[in-house]
């Protein structure tokens, strides 16, 4: 698949993720017990044979870099090509503030894009959970002769996406609607695109000249109006955009549903991630566990119910956790009671600590807290 | 480049006493303790002991073992100078190639490999032991006692001694006699089958042994007795800790159950991790009807039944109302709703259909009888596999 080159947008972090992103980007948020959100886009590309991938990042990317490493987990550690980290380079103005939009992010790495030999680019978000079989839209795009193929969803439960494409009689996109939540027609965009290289460069040039940086509202909308040819491909599987504490909590809890989890982790398209320690999880004599997901390398002596537990957790006897997300390497001592908490990495709770969040407002325990 | 010590890992054994489990794989690649395969223990010990060059001697059904070891990356053995090497028997020009005829012969056929690294010492390891051991500490002991060979030994009871190779000590605490499974044991020091040799001396004895047509070409039977006879210094390295040979169904089951007692062997010790190559699966799922008691569960599992005192490898599925007790379930095993599995070892990807009954708990006062089902089999719905059976093909079901 050397004809295709991947680009993942990992620069954007929604402020509504609050403390969860104080030291990381949304793309590197831990998810479903052992993954990071960006694993989905990386794995989708890898499973479609795309191993030349650039990850566009701007700030707070230490945890992202640590996770990606050399790209080995996704078979992207190659002598030529492979995974490339794309922090801002060249122009000093891009090191300050935030990218004003996708177009500015692309322009900031334009020298990289220009050097790519591939004919097509696959653009995906780094903060989206979806297991998309890219081989189908890639083949469709190659055959159609259209300059862009937009990957959309028909799922009513896909929250957080804002762009809707209306189509003409031939199924080509003709117009973009923003926040058309009540619109019956049209296809909700997953903001994933397959785009010809020359079209991408053209859009970047227009955007640069006009100083208009928004991908959809400015660039794509006017490109469509000028007669640009865009196909629609519909992905039917589960999709979640991680842009707020609520959507993060809900998407994690959705994984407790077997049907949804199997949609996101089908055997034929595995989701790859950085490997951790190799040891199974141990359930002690007095442990209790119901309706939970538990990663390896945990020792559970207490009780867990409706929880997502990442590796390295130590849940001591008599500790009770309900409706919690417990990230890596947390220690919950005897007699603690935690409900509706999102517990970030490396936290420890001394005996008999009680913390209750609410379904509408899960309590965030920041990374490294000692309570 | 010259190495202080390299490891030679004997992984060619068929494991005939594990019959149903080793029909298509070598014993070292039998799954163990949830996340692992047996060979992960010696390989991880090498990694943790700072040994970066390991020759793995394979012979019986090596395909799975070869792909499992691969580049050695899980054990950090993918290094530029050294690494892990699979060493099968081979043919040379003008000669008739031959299978490895014994443990010593396997090493002897690979003299050229060892000489490439020109080591001072060679540690000989076995691919069917479960233990954590610092070979660097054993080497220090070996060097300190100026030994030609150091044998790692374990203190056992006199009753147990009849099942092991026993060491009788002489002057200065050196080994003066090696008795294989003695009827009347004279000591309680049992060989663990782990040897460090001075390479130059070992080389000499290997060549000498190779020329002897009456030899069984075995370390315990031939090489070490010959060294003792010549008055070479053989030192016992006293190992304290957990060590099990898992060559039989009973010992494999026992050792798996031992993993449920962290006081015996701590797999969670960050100072001495046991590494493995495993597929990346989602975390294991505990369903709303599940009950998990005193068990080991691994990623990819989906559990909605009862799991009690059992060891589950990756991607095991347990249906609603199924009952798993005192059992070892290897990767990909499916136990459907209402089935029961007790005191059993179930091979990879075997399916136990709804309501089937496999094995059973021992009656009071009686010893346990382990039921074994080989890999890739299907136990039909509602059927019964009787206690103690060993099933290796679908005709036997």
DSSP characters over B142-184: HHHTT-SEEEEEEE--TTGGGGSEEEEE-GGG-EEEEEES-SS
Tell whether A308 is within 8 A of chain B (Cβ): yes
For B132-158, write each residue's pLDDT tens digit. 999 999 999 999 999 999 999 999 998
Q: How far apart are CA A311 and CA B23, in angstroms?
A: 35
- Cβ contact, residue pair B283, A296, below 8 Å: yes
Q: How far is A242 from chain B (nearest CA, A)?
A: 19
Residue in A34, A272, A279 nearest the CB of B267: A279
Helix (H) or strand (E) holding A314: strand A314-315
- Cβ contact, residue pair A280, B276, below 8 Å: no
**pLDDT at site A101:** 85
- Cβ contact, residue pair A279, B312, below 8 Å: no
Tell whether A273 is within 8 A of chain B (Cβ): yes
Token pair belonging to A316: 């001591």
- Cβ contact, residue pair B34, A279, below 8 Å: yes
* Three-state SS at A294: strand
Chain B environment of A275 (Cβ under 8 Å): 74, 280
Buried b (16+ CB within 10 A) or exposed e, B118-157: ebebbbbbbbbbbbbbebeebbebbbebebbbbbbbbebe
Q: What is the ipTM of this complex?
A: 0.90
What percent of chain B shows pLDDT beyond 70?
Answer: 98
CA dihedral A307, A312, A318, A323 (to 10 degrees): -10
For B348-391, write each residue's pLDDT tens digit. 999 999 999 999 999 888 889 999 999 999 999 999 999 999 99
Q: How far apart are CA B215 and CA B207, in angstroms?
A: 12
Residue in B35, B262, B285 nearest the CB of A278: B35
Q: How far apart are CA B18 and CA B246, in angstroms?
A: 9
Tell whether A260 is within 8 A of chain B (Cβ): no
Residue in A270, A290, A299 nearest the CB of B280: A270
CA B131 to mean position of chain CA atoms: 9
A309, A33 Cβ separation under 8 angstroms: yes
Measured between CA atoms, the residue of chain B closest to residue A303 is B292
Tell whether A47 is within 8 A of chain B (Cβ): no
**pLDDT at site A95:** 60
Query: Order of strands across the sheet with B344-346?
Result: A348-349, A331-332, A314-315, A299-300, A281-283, B295-297, B311-312, B328-329, B344-346, B371-373, B390-391
Measured between CA atoms, the residue of chain A closest to residue B40 is A278
Residue in B270, B281, B285 nearest the CB of A258: B285
Tell whether A69 is within 8 A of chain B (Cβ): no
- Cβ contact, residue pair A291, B278, below 8 Å: no
Q: How far is A256 from chain B (nearest CA, A)?
A: 8
Parts of chain A with a pLDDT under 50: none
Measured between CA atoms, the residue of chain A closest to residue B277 is A278
- Cβ contact, residue pair B280, A273, below 8 Å: yes
* Three-state SS at B290: coil
Residue A66: how many other CB atoms lie within 10 Å = 12
Q: How far is A271 from chain B (nearest CA, A)?
A: 8
Residue A241 burial (10 A CB sphere; 0-12, 13-18, 19+):
buried
Q: How far apart are CA A327 and CA A367, in angstroms?
A: 9
A125, A191 Cβ separation under 8 angstroms: yes
Chain A environment of B282 (Cβ under 8 Å): 32-35, 255, 261, 265, 271, 293
pLDDT at B285 over 90: yes
B357, B385 Cβ separation under 8 angstroms: yes
pLDDT, mean of residues B44-52: 95
CA dihedral A87, A90, A92, A96 (to 10 degrees): -20
Token pair belonging to A319: 């500790």
Question: What stretches of chain B show up as alpha helix (H) in DSSP?
Answer: 40-49, 63-69, 103-108, 111-117, 135-144, 199-210, 224-229, 249-258
Chain A environment of B43 (Cβ under 8 Å): none
**pLDDT at site B366:** 87
Look up the pTM and report it: 0.92
Q: Is the dihedral of CA B111, B113, B115, B118 positive or negative?
A: negative
**Mean of per-residue pLDDT scores for chain B:** 92
Chain B environment of A282 (Cβ under 8 Å): 260, 262, 268, 295-296
Measured between CA atoms, the residue of chain A closest to residue B296 is A282
Residue in A265, A290, A309 nearest the CB of B290: A290
Q: How far is A176 from chain B (nearest CA, A)?
A: 36
**pLDDT at site A123:** 97
Measured between CA atoms, the residue of chain A closest to residue B308 is A285
Token pair belonging to B258: 């031992």
A99, A58 Cβ separation under 8 angstroms: yes
**pLDDT at site A214:** 86
Count Cβ–Cβ pairs < 8 Å, chain A vs chain B. Answer: 109
- Cβ contact, residue pair A291, B299, below 8 Å: no
Measured between CA atoms, the residue of chain A closest to residue B44 is A278
pLDDT at B201 over 70: yes
Chain B environment of A280 (Cβ under 8 Å): 33-35, 267, 296-298, 311-312
Chain B environment of A301 (Cβ under 8 Å): none
Tell whether A267 is within 8 A of chain B (Cβ): no
pLDDT, mean of residues B246-265: 93
Token pair belonging to A203: 């859009």
For B68-116, write each residue's pLDDT tens digit. 998 899 999 998 889 999 988 877 666 666 777 888 888 988 999 999 9
Q: How far apart are CA A239 and CA A41, in angstroms?
A: 12
B157, B171 Cβ separation under 8 angstroms: no
């Amino acid at each position: 698949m050397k004809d295709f080159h991947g680009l993942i947008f990992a620069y954007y972090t929604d402020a509504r993720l609050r403390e969860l992103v104080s030291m990381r980007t949304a793309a590197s948020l831990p998810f479903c017990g052992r993954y990071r959100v960006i694993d989905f886009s990386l794995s989708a590309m890898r499973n479609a044979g795309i191993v030349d991938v650039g990850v566009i990042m701007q700030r707070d990317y230490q945890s992202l870099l640590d996770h990606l490493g050399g790209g080995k987990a996704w078979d992207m550690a190659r002598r030529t090509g492979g995974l490339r980290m794309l922090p801002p380079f060249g122009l000093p103005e891009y090191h300050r503030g935030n990218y004003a939009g996708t177009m500015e992010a692309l322009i900031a790495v334009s020298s990289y894009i220009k050097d790519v030999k591939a004919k097509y680019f696959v653009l995906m978000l780094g903060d989206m959970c979806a297991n998309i079989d890219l081989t189908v839209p890639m083949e469709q795009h190659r055959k159609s002769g259209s300059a862009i193929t937009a990957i959309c969803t028909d799922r009513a439960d896909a929250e957080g996406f804002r762009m809707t494409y209306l189509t003409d009689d031939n199924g080509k996109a003709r117009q973009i609607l923003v926040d058309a939540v009540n619109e019956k027609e049209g296809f909700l965009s997953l903001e994933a695109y397959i785009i010809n290289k020359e079209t991408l460069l053209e859009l970047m040039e227009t955007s640069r000249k006009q100083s208009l940086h928004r991908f959809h509202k400015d660039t794509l909308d006017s490109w469509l109006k000028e007669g640009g040819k865009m196909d629609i491909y519909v992905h039917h599987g589960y999709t979640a955009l991680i842009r707020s504490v609520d959507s993060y909590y809900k998407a994690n809890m959705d994984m407790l549903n077997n049907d949804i989890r199997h949609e996101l982790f089908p055997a034929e398209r595995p989701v790859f991630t950085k490997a951790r320690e190799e040891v199974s999880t141990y359930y002690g004599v007095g442990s209790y566990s119901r309706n939970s997901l538990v990663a390896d390398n945990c020792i559970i002596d207490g009780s867990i119910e409706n929880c997502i537990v990442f590796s390295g957790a130590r849940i001591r006897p008599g500790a009770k956790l309900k409706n919690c997300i417990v990230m890596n390497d947390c220690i919950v001592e005897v007699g603690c009671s935690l409900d509706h908490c999102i517990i970030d990495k490396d936290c420890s709770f001394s005996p008999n600590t009680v913390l209750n969040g609410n379904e509408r407002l899960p309590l965030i325990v920041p990374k490294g807290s000692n309570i | 480049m010259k190495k202080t010590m390299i490891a030679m890992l004997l992984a060619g054994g068929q494991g005939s006493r594990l019959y149903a489990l080793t029909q298509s794989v070598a014993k070292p690649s039998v799954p163990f303790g949830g996340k692992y395969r047996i060979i992960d223990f010696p390989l991880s010990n090498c990694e943790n002991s700072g040994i970066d060059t390991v020759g793995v001697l394979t012979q019986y059904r090596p395909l799975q073992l070869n792909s499992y070891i691969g580049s050695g990356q899980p054990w950090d053995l993918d290094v530029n100078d050294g690494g892990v090497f699979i060493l099968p028997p081979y043919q040379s020009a003008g000669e008739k190639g031959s299978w490895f005829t014994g443990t010593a012969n396997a090493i002897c056929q690979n003299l050229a490999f060892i000489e490439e690294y020109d080591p001072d010492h060679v540690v000989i390891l076995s691919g069917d032991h479960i233990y954590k051991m610092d070979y660097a500490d054993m080497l220090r002991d070996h060097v300190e006692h100026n030994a030609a060979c150091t044998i790692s030994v374990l203190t056992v009871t006199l009753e147990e001694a009849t099942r092991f190779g026993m060491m009788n000590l002489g002057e200065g605490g050196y080994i003066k006699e090696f008795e294989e499974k003695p009827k009347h044991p004279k000591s309680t020091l049992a060989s663990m089958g782990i040897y460090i040799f001075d390479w130059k001396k070992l080389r000499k004895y290997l060549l000498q042994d190779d020329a002897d047509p009456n030899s069984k070409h075995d370390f315990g039977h031939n090489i070490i007795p010959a060294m003792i006879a010549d008055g070479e210094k053989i030192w016992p390295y006293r190992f304290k800790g957990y060590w099990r040979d898992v060559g039989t169904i009973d010992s494999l089951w026992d050792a798996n159950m031992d993993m449920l007692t962290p006081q015996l062997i701590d797999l969670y010790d960050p100072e001495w991790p046991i590494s493995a190559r495993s597929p990346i699966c989602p975390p294991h799922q505990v369903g709303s009807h599940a009950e998990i008691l005193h068990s080991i569960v691994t990623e990819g599992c989906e559990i909605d039944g009862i799991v009690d005192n059992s060891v589950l490898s990756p991607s095991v599925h347990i249906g609603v109302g199924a009952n798993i007790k005192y059992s070892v379930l290897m990767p990909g095993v499916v136990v459907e709703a209402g089935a029961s599995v007790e005191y059993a070892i179930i091979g990879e990807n075997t399916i136990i259909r709804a309501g089937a009954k496999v094995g059973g708990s021992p009656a009071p006062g009686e010893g346990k009888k382990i039921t074994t089902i080989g890999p890739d089999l299907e136990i039909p719905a509602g059927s019964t596999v009787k206690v103690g059976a060993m099933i290796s093909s679908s005709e036997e079901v």
